[in-house]
Amino acid sequence: MKTRAMTSTSNASKQTAPATPKREAILSAALEAFATRGVNGVAVPEIAERASVGTGTIYRYFENKEALVNALYCEEKRALRRRLTEHLDPEGEPRALFDEFWNRLVRFARERPAAFRFLELQDHLAYLDPESLALEHRVLSPIRAACEALQQRDVFRSDVRAEVLMTLIWGAFVQLFKTERAGYLSLAEADINSARDACWHMCTSTR
C-alpha cells in the first residue's frame, strides 16, 4: 500500500465520484472483506474477485488500495453521520435525546454490521488521508457540542471533559458489540438498554 504522502489530490474527487454499478460492487466487496479480515489482511485481487471484476477495473476507479480504503471510509462515515444526526433536535429533552442517539447507534450496528465493524472496530490512522481525517472531525464536532451543551445545562457532569465523556460512551458501545461478535455474550434488548442507562448515569452522576 502506498503511504499517505503518495496519495494524489485526485483521490478526493474519486471519493465523491458518481456511483456506477461496478464502483458500487467494488465498494461493497471491499467493505465485506475489510470488515472481516481488516484492511491489511486483504489484497486488491481478492476484492476484485468478490466484486466479480478484473483487478485492473479497480484501478480505473481508485488509484491504489489506500484510495479505495479512504473512499469507502468517507462513504460509510457519511452514512453513519446521517443516521445519527438527521432530524435529531439537539435542544430536545436531554434523556430522550441521549436515548435516541444510543438507539440510532444500535440500529446502525444491527442493520449495517459490516459498516460498523469497518468504521469502529479497526484502527484506521495508518492509512486515512487528510480528507478522511477532516470528515471524522466533522462527524465528532456536533456530538462534542451536544455534550458541552448538556454540561452547560447542568445535565452532564462538568468535572469530566466533554471529549472524555464521549470517549467513555463510544468505547462502551463499541466494546459491547465487539464482545458479542467475539461470542462472549449474546445481547438481548434488555442488555442494550441497561448499558445505555449505565452510560447515562455515568455522565450525569457526580458521585
pLDDT at position 207 is 54
Which residue is associated with the grid cell 447515562? Answer: 200
Asked if pLDDT for residue 30 goes beyond 70, the answer is yes
Q: Which residue has the higher pLDDT, 83 or 8?
A: 83
Q: What is the CATH number of domain 4-204?
A: 1.10.357.10
Boundaries of every domain in the chain: 4-204
Q: What pTM does this model have?
A: 0.85
How much is the average pLDDT of 3-24? 56
User: For residues 122 and 96, what is the distance between their CA atoms, to the nearest angstrom?
Assistant: 30
Asked if pLDDT for residue 4 goes beyond 60, the answer is no
Asked if pLDDT for residue 17 goes beyond 90, the answer is no
Collapsing DSSP to helix, strand or coil, 171 comes out as helix
Q: What is the pLDDT of residues 142-179, one digit of tens each?
A: 899 999 999 999 999 999 999 999 999 999 999 999 99
